[in-house]
Amino acid sequence: MSVEARRVVRRPILTEKSMRGTERGKYTFEVAPHFNKLAIGEAVERLFNVKVVKVNVITLPGRQKRRGQHTYRSSGRRKAIVTLRAGDKIDLESLT
């Protein structure tokens, strides 16, 4: 599957919880909603020149919001937790 890697991986998620995972080789990224685990792993490998061992995907639904008397649902997100081979690292500080 030859897809532009930047279309698959949107941005890294840099929270305290996700940064704790980097010690174990797990990195969290926001990804486009219609790509599968294989495409996500391939995109991370191409973008950062690392070897991906495992990809976990989490789909977060949009939240119910109100503006006046009207309610609507905000758009959801999809994030991927990518586990790298032992010894591989991604320098997330240079990305932001």
Give residue 91's pLDDT band: very low, low, confident or very high (50, 70, 90). Answer: confident
Rounded CA-CA distance 44/48 in Å is 6
For residue 94, what pLDDT is reported? 72
Rounded CA-CA distance 18/26 in Å is 8
User: In this structure, are residues 27 and 90 in contact, taking their beta carbons and an 8 Å threshold?
Assistant: yes
- Bridge-partner residues for 39, per DSSP? none
- Strand segments, DSSP code E, in the chain are 9-12, 26-31, 52-60, 64-67, 70-73, 77-84
pTM here? 0.86
